[in-house]
Amino acid sequence: MTAVRLREPWRSLLADVDRQLPGPTELHCLGGFVIAELYGLLRATADIGIIEARGTDLRTLQTIAGRGSELARRHHVFLDIVTVATVPEDYEQRLVDIPSGEFMYLRLRAFERHDLVLAKLARNAGHDREDVKHLALGPGLDCAVLRDRYQRALRFQFGNPRHGT
């Protein structure tokens, strides 16, 4: 995948975060930021949803760039540590790199479009439905893949509905 040129204010926020990190850090991102930067939706969002971090703990990230932090006040956007979310099983195996080539320590990884659709549908807010519509109308969404992951998620959460287990 070629390097993505992040738009402002994200580029500046993440560059400032990168400068404050103690070492290599991988962020698992989802939400409006991912849809805008990776999948082309032009919708304003004030945060980067982070479901998981590797290398730097979530509390440190919250202090560096969470809501109300000095960086959030400076850039008017922030890292949002997502504590409650329904995410597809094994999503980590399908994360997509957001290769900006601009950071020393920071590695951004994003939900793959099918997993992003499933996470958005689970939350089902108005803007989530609009985000799903955008992803569905764009290239690369395979209904068979989406159906399979959805059905696997249901089996994982509720047992096999055909066999009652």
Q: What DSSP letter does each residue of 25-39 carry, written as one string? A: EEEEEESHHHHHHHH
Q: What are phi and psi of 160, to 5 degrees?
A: -80, 110
Assigned domain for 5 exists: no
Beta carbons of 6 and 72 less than 8 angstroms apart: no
Which pLDDT does position 58 carry in this prediction?
96
Range of the domain at 105: 10-158
Which pLDDT does position 134 carry in this prediction?
73
Indicate the SS3 state at residue 139. Answer: coil
Assigned domain for 4 exists: no
Assigned domain for 164 exists: no
Which pLDDT does position 150 carry in this prediction?
83
Contacts of residue 126, Cβ cutoff 8 Å, sequence gap at least 6: none
Assigned domain for 2 exists: no
Per the rule left: phi > 0, alpha: psi between -120 and 50, beta: everything else, 20 is: alpha
Assigned domain for 74 exists: yes
Assigned domain for 163 exists: no
The total domain count for the chain is: 1
Which pLDDT does position 106 carry in this prediction?
97
Contacts of residue 127, Cβ cutoff 8 Å, sequence gap at least 6: 32, 43
Which pLDDT does position 156 carry in this prediction?
58
State which residues of the chain have pLDDT below 70.
1-3, 123-124, 154-165
Which pLDDT does position 163 carry in this prediction?
44
Beta carbons of 60 and 83 less than 8 angstroms apart: no
Assigned domain for 29 exists: yes
